[in-house]
Amino acid sequence: MAAVRVRVPAKVNLALRVGETDEQGYHRLGTVFQAVSLGDEVIAEEAPPGEFRLAFQGEGAGFLPVDDTNLAIKAAKALAAHVGRGDLGVNLMIRKRIPVAGGMAGGSADAAAVLVACNALWGLDTPHDELHGLAARLGADVPFLLLGGTAIGTGRGETLTPVMSSGTFHWTLALAHTGLSTPAVFKEFDRVSPPQDTEIPVGLLEALRNGDAAGVGASLINDLEAPAIRLLPTLARTLEIGLEAGALGAIVSGSGPTCAFLAGSDAHSVELAEALGVFSGVRALRRAFGPVPGAQVLP
Domain spans of the chain? Answer: 3-162, 169-290
Q: So what's the pLDDT on residue 59? A: 83
Q: Which CATH number fits domain 169-290: 3.30.70.890, 3.40.47.10, 3.40.50.880, 3.20.20.105?
A: 3.30.70.890
Q: What is the CATH number of domain 3-162?
A: 3.30.230.10
- The predicted pLDDT at position 205 comes to 98
Distant-in-sequence, close-in-space partners of 61: CB < 8 Å, separation ≥ 6: 96
Q: What is the pTM of this model?
A: 0.95
User: How far is residue 65's CA from residue 44's CA, in Å, rounded to a whole number?
Assistant: 17
What's the pLDDT at 1? 65
Check if the beta carbon of residue 173 is closer than 8 Å to that of residue 287: yes
Catalytic annotation, pick one of 11, 40, 74, 96: 11
Residue from 162, 112, 122, 115 nearest 142 by CA? 112
Q: Which of 40, 110, 141, 223 is catalytic?
A: 141
Q: Indicate if 96 belongs to the active site.
A: no
User: Catalytic annotation on 11?
Assistant: yes
CA distance 109 to 151: 15
Per-residue confidence of the chain (299 residues) as pLDDT tens digits? 679 999 999 999 999 999 999 888 889 999 999 999 999 999 999 999 999 999 999 988 888 999 999 999 999 999 999 999 999 999 999 999 998 888 899 999 999 999 999 999 999 999 999 999 999 999 999 999 999 999 999 999 999 999 999 999 999 999 999 989 999 999 999 999 999 999 999 999 999 999 999 999 999 999 999 999 999 999 999 999 999 999 999 999 999 999 999 999 999 999 999 999 999 999 999 999 999 999 999 99
- Torsion, Cα of 133, 135, 137, 138 (10° steps): 170
According to the model, what pLDDT value does residue 63 have?
Answer: 86
What is the pLDDT at residue 216?
98
